[in-house]
Structure formats: structure tokens, C-alpha cells
Amino acid sequence: MRRLLAVLALVVTAACAPVPSGAPPIGGGSPVPPRPAEAAELTEPPSTADVPPASCDPTASLRPTGPLPPPGQMPAGSTMAEIQARGRLIAGVDQNTYLMGFRNPVSGELEGFDVDLVREVARAIFGDPGAIQFKVVTSEQRVPTLERHEVDIVVRTMTATCERWQKVNFSTVYLQAGQRVLVPSNSDVTGIESLGGKRVCATKGSSSLANVATAASRPVPVSVAHWTDCLVMLQQGQVEAISTDDTILAGFAAQDPYTKVVGPQFAAEPYGMAFPKADEDFVRFVNALLERLRADGTWARIHQRWLGDPPAPPVAAYRD
Amino acid sequence: MLVEAQRNRGALRRVTGLARSTPGRLSLLALLLMVMSLLVGAATATSVQRRSDALEALADRSEPLAFAAQEVYRAMADADATASSAFLSGGVESATLRGRYEADVAKAAAALSAATGEITRSPELTEALSTLSGQLPVYTGLVETARAHNRQGNPVGAAYLREASALMQTRMLPAARELYGVETGKVVRDLEDAGSLPWPELLLGLLALVVLVLAQRYLTRRTNRVLNPGLVVATALTAISLLWVLAASLLVVYNASASKNEATLVDLLARARIATLTARGDETLTLVARGSGATYEAEYVEADKVLDDLLGRVRVVDGAPPVAEAVEHHGRWQEAHRKVREADDAGDFTAAVALALGQDARGAATAFDALDSDLVEAIGTARAELTGAIGRARAGLGGVVPAVVVLALLAAAASAFGLWQRLKEYR
């Protein structure tokens, strides 16, 4: 009996003895959220190397020299004649900005407000809106591509600024945009002023990014390569807001019903078509074309197609 | 202390006493020969067993794992290239492309679970494997999000696809490459282990023979008899054992070196196939980028150069029809790619896409598909040769270990018997 008890006691002790601490944890279980390629948090404002001249009015462009020549009969020796001889207009556009310049996923074609304007330019030169070679450029590549003369024209939600005027030429303003803020619909952010310390997305090389970086509320700017990358980051909760021109934001809101555009326009963004610095005759030609598009209702029709009820077209300003 | 020293001295005296008398010496010699036969037998058996273990590891683990790693790498690269093609084709992707993508994901997951099963064997791969198995569901999630947006006509779908592709290119494919490199390295290492020249076996066997011959010369001098039947039998058995082991080992060495060539060929072909997929992905992405794809085109050129080099090296070692056809189809693809680039650079985007994706016999898609299936066929043949050679090597080693043990026991018994015959004369 005693022995039995002793054995029992031994068994109980053995059962209760601490197991040598074991069960190693499973490694590598922490999530690593994916990010768009080239997404980066900005630690300092994007460089503004050249100080713009004080007297600059970025919306004033070169005055047209007369009525438009008929399609297919460009004046000899002009930039337009070179383009006509080549047989196609090489245009820098975007394929990632819904409503402005985007690739229609169903047809694979490039469409949008900017793209329709490029087609009008092609129509004015060739009489054929399809004689275009599109070259997709990112915000950052716009000025360098023009400086290397790889494209004849850039129509890509490009704000005319004095800094950019030093490297390229702009047409008269073809759309007046203003920078605002897009947030998830359940966010209590009311505008750029309530984004202090929060991550705000814009594309690299855009004026929007510079405006975010220099905003008084000191948000944390996050730069990406393409505008849609911002929407991806917002949908994945990696940024709290997107801040850029209301035209681009409208495109985001159209793709995601759980977002809203908030706050007032805090920076004016007049869009101009951009040209290589040397091609002044082409700028004057396109300005004449824009005059006509504003006057004959084409501009309003394109606006109606992509951006809704048209306001009065922007008034052309000239610096001669 | 003192007592112990005396006892030791006593034992020593007994042994030296034994060594001084002839019967004593004969007993010691018998003991020595038995122990030697058994030790040499055991050591030889161990050495043969080690070779056999290396072959078993090769056939059962390293080679299948290397193949699994290759499948992981291949399937992931292919999934990425296919997803880009499906995107470029516009609209709802074709059933063929969708089927190919789904097959890739299924294959990648299956191969990954095979590779992960052996994770305890390769702790250095823990990180790569957990990256791969952790990110694969994330990757497919992004691709499906992209599809959902594409179906609704939202351009943000393209951004999700770019994010998925970046995840694949920057995190998953490097991990897959590491996995493949390590597993392929293990195949080569196991083949080297199995195919090492049988020096230990040879030296041990020769040592045993020399000792047996010396013992017989000693006996001849001592007993005036030319031959001792027991020792002659022991010598013969030892020689048989040595020859058997040498023959079997040399067969393994021969087959292992053949396997090494096949393993190199499989590796070259697998890398050629991955380069093919990379080049195809870059070709497609160049068009997706629409005029700003210079970096992708540069990557295509890079991958194509690698492919060219690999195919050239494959051709040196393997002149089989699929390889020759692969070289030809590669040439045709390069030609088609040139036309794609010409059309795209001249501004004819629609023609470029049609050349790249269309089922035209002279198009890039047809040449790529043909090249890919040539490589699949060549890899299948080379892998069958590899596993065949490993199997032949294993078959050669079959039964060698028990034979060595039995022969060693018999040799020991024969030595003992032979000396017992002489010892009896001193009774």
C-alpha cells in the first residue's frame, strides 16, 4: 500500500513537473504590406532650384500670329510642317489619371480630357485626329522629355509655373484646376489644414507634391510614380489623404465611392500644354487653335464629356 | 598503488611471455588477423554506406527539392509575365491566359509546400521560404483586385497590377532565386559526395591484404609450410571484397559524373526557361508602359543576352532535337521582337501589340510559346536522364554493405581456422 502511494506520488510529481520550455514561435508571420514601386516618404521639400523671376505671370502665353492654316497645309519651315512631314504628332500624355488621360481597361485605348485635346491638335495639323504617337510620361519626366525634344507636345495635367517656364513653353490656360484634398468618406479631415503629421500622397515631380511639402500644417508628403498609385495607397490605408488638383481628385472619387473631396482650393493650378522651349511657332499655332476651340463650343463639349457641366472656358492671357 | 603496479607488471609479463613462445605468437597473430579483418570490414562498410546515403539523399530529397525550387521560380515568373500579357490584351483577359495564370499559381503553391516541407534541412532558407509562402497570397490578392477594377473600367486596376508586379520582382523572385540556388547547390554537393573516388576503401583493402601476405610469409618461415589454407582463403575473401567494393564504387563514380553533367544541363535549361519568361515579361511591360518603357526594353535586352548565352552553353553539351529547335525558335522570337519594337517606335502601337500578343505564326507570342515548350521538353528529358543515372548508381551499390560484412566475418573465421591448424601441432 505504501509502495503504491509512493509510486502514485512519483507519477503525480512527474506529471506536474514543468515541461522544458518548448514550443518555438513560428517565424516570419508579421505582415509586410506591399507598396507601389518607388513609393517614398519625403523628408525634405522637393528642390526648387531656380528662383522664378518676380515679374512672371505663368498663365500668359505667346500670342497667335494670325488665323490657323488649313489642315495639311502647314507653313514651310515651321515646326508644324516638320510634324506634318513626319506623319504623326508625338504627344506626351498620361495613362493613369482617370478622366484626364487614362487607359480604358476595356478597350486598351487612351482616353480623357487631355487626350481629346491632343486629338484636336492632330486634327488641326493633319485633318486626322488619329495621327498621333502617344508617349506616356510620368509627372517627373514631363520637363526632361520636352528638353530632350522626344515629344512635340505634353498635355498631361501640367500646371504652368514660372519655374517650368524657364525650361519649356506653355500654351494659354486650357483648364483652371485648383488643389484640394481627397480622403476616405469616414475621415474627419476637413482640408489641408487638418492634415498635420499625416501622410499625404502626390506624384513625384508634380506641383501638388511641392504644395503639400510646403503646407503650413506640415503634413508628411509621400511621393509615388503614377497618380493611381496614390489611390492604391489610400485604399490600402498607407496614406491618410491624397492632395492634388480637383480634376484629378474627381477621377479618383469616380473610381472609389468611399472617398470624398474636402476643403477649399488652396492653390490655383492653371493647366497649359507644354512645348519644347525652341518651338515658339507651334505654341502660337496651338494658342490660335485653343481660341477656336473655346469659341466654337468644342472645348465645352470635351468638358461635358469628361468633367461634367462646363463653366466658361479660361480666358487666354498673352505676354506677346 | 603498489599492488596495482604489481598486477600490471604481472599482466605485462604474461603477454610478453606469450609473445616469447611460438604458440603464444601464433595466438596473438590469429587475434590480430581477426580483429583486422573485422575492423577493415566495418570501416569499408561504413564508407560504402556513406556513399549510399548520399545517393539516397540525392534521389529522395535534394533532386526533388531542386526541381520544386525550379518550379517555384518558374511558376512565379510565368504568373507575372502572364498577368502583364492579360492586362495588355485589354478588356477581359482570354481564357487561355487566365488558365495559364491559375496553373502557375497552383504549381507555385504546390512546389512551395514541397520545398517548405524540408525546411529543417536548410535553416538558411527559412527567410526566403517564409517570404515566398507569405507573399504569394498577397500577390494573388493584388492581381484579383486589379482584375476586379479592370472589369469595372477603373484605371486604378493597372496600378494594382503594377504593385503586384513590383512585389514579385523585388521580393518574391529574388527569394525564389535564392531557394533555387541553394537547392541546386545541394544536388551538386551530394553528387560530389557520392562520386568521390573510393580511396579509403582501396587503402583499407590493400592494408588488409598486405597484413595477410606478411602473416603468411611469417608462417612459412616458422613452420616450413608453403601455404596455409585458412590464410589463403582469408586473403582471397579479402581480395574479393576489395574488388567488389572497387567495382561498385567506380560504377557510382562513373554514374555520378554522368549525373553531374545532366544536373548541369538541367540547371542551364531551367535558367534558360526563366530567362525566357523574364524576357517575355519585359517585352510585354515595355508595351504596357506605352512609350516610357525604355527600362523594360533594357531589361529585355539583358534577359535575351542571358538566354542566348545559356542556349549556347546548352548546345555544347546537348545536341538533342528540342534544344536545336529551341535555338531556332529563339531566333524567330528575336526577329519578331525587332518587328514589335520597330512598329512601336514608329508610333504604330496597335500593330506592335498585335505582333506581340496575336496568334500570328510570325508573331512574338507564337515564337515564345514554341521556345517555352521546347525548353519544357528538354528539361523533362534531361531530368529523366539525371534521375536514371542516380538510380543506376544506387542499383550498383545494392547489397554491397551486407556482402562486405559477411566477407569480413568469413575472412576473420578463415584466418582463425588457418592458425588454429598450426596451433594444434603444439599440443
A 109-148 → B contacts, CB under 8 A = 110, 132-138, 141
Asked whether residue A316 carries a pLDDT value surpassing 60, the answer given is: yes
* Burial (0-12, 13-18, 19+ Cβ within 10 Å), B272: buried
Distance from the Cα of A28 to chain B's closest Cα (Å) equals 6
What is the Cα Rg of chain B in Å? 33
Residues A106-161 have pLDDT tens digits of 888 899 999 999 999 999 999 999 999 999 998 889 999 999 999 999 999 999 99
Residue B32 in contact with residue B218, Cβ under 8 Å? no
Which residues are registered as beta bridge partners of A103? A110
Question: What is the spatial distance between Cα B124 and Cα B108, in angstroms, rounded to a whole number?
Answer: 20
C-alpha to C-alpha distance for B374 and B322, rounded to whole angstroms: 5
A165 and A121 in contact (C-beta within 8 Å)? no
Within an 8 Å CB–CB cutoff, is residue A83 touching chain B? Answer: no
Touching A: B residues 310-349, CB under 8 Å: 346-347, 349
- Collect all residues of chain A within an 8 Å Cβ-Cβ radius of residue B151: 105
ipTM of the shown complex: 0.84
Q: Is the pLDDT of residue B4 over 80?
A: no
Cα–Cα distance measured from residue B224 to residue B227, given in angstroms and rounded to the nearest whole number: 9
φ, ψ dihedrals at A283, nearest 5°? -60, -45
Chain A contact for B143 (CB, 8 A cutoff): no
Residue of A27, A34, A132 with shortest CB distance to B167: A34
In B88-152, at which residue ranges do the beta strands (DSSP E only) sit? none
Give tens-digit pLDDT for A254-293: 999 999 999 999 999 999 999 999 999 999 999 999 999 9
Q: What is the mean pLDDT of residues A89-96?
A: 94
Q: Is the pLDDT of residue B264 over 80?
A: yes
Separation CA A91–CA A132 (nearest Å): 7
A255/B contact by beta carbon, under 8 A: yes
Angle at A270 between CA A268 and CA A276, to 5 degrees: 140
Whether residue A63 lies within 8 A of chain B, CB to CB, comes out as: no
Mutate to test the interface with B, among A97, A228, A242, A252 (most CBs of B within 10 A): A228
What's the whole-number mean pLDDT along residues B128-141?
A: 93
Pairing status of strand A317-318 against strand A96-97:
unpaired
Interchain CB distance below 8 Å, A231 and B162:
no
Decide if B123 touches A, using CB distance below 8 A. no
pLDDT the model gives residue A16: 55
The helix (run of H) or strand (run of E) holding residue B394 is helix B364-397
Binned at pLDDT 50, 70 and 90, residue B164 comes out as very high
